[in-house]
């Protein structure tokens, strides 16, 4: 039987690629395919020009969800794209994340739509976007006072919102 890992132990592993820590268990998943990676890059390019000065966009960072005490089995998720407070370094804390974005892959559909939705909500991440490439859509979720996400209007062409900052995402540009 494998020992369960704390967040600090996970961080010391220097795990790269497609690893996450769930209840102290190291989880690996397949790397994203070209359309997935292309969509992430294009989303980053669209967001980068629209962010307020105090925010930045980051590709695939480890995020300590802060759901367990430091000496207990921990939770680290690796969203595809994160908008966080500028100057955040290394292992991000959930409190530094403004938007977590997952681009759904065939192997991650359940995890992105169900498990991560619950994890990010419990961690207090204010906004969670789920981008699906087939069919193309962006479903924005906003954290409610009850620490559950409420689905906002899903977009199939353009996502435009004033929160958490004025933003416009052209979905066709994610895949073209």
The mean pLDDT value for 10-23 works out to 85
129 touches 47 (CB < 8 A): no
Domains, the chain, with CATH or none:
33-60+77-175 (3.90.1570.10)
The mean pLDDT value for 122-136 works out to 96
The mean pLDDT value for 106-114 works out to 86
The mean pLDDT value for 47-69 works out to 96
| Predicted pLDDT of residue 16 | 66
């Amino acid at each position: 039987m494998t020992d369960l890992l704390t967040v600090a132990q996970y961080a010391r592993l220097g795990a790269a690629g497609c690893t996450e820590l769930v209840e102290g268990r190291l989880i690996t998943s397949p790397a994203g395919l070209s359309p997935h990676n292309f969509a992430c890059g294009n989303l980053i390019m669209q967001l980068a020009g629209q962010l307020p000065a105090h925010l930045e966009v980051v590709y695939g960072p480890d995020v300590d969800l802060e759901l367990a005490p430091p000496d207990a089995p921990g939770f680290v998720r690796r969203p595809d794209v994160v908008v966080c407070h500028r100057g955040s370094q290394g292992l991000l804390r959930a409190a530094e994340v403004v938007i977590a974005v997952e681009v759904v892959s065939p192997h991650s559909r359940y995890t992105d739509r169900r498990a991560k939705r619950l994890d990010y909500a419990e961690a207090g991440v204010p906004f969670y976007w789920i981008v699906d490439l087939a069919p193309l859509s962006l479903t924005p979720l906003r954290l409610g006072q009850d620490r559950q996400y409420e689905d906002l209007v899903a977009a199939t062409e353009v996502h435009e919102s004033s929160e958490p900052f004025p933003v416009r995402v052209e979905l066709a540009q994610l895949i073209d």
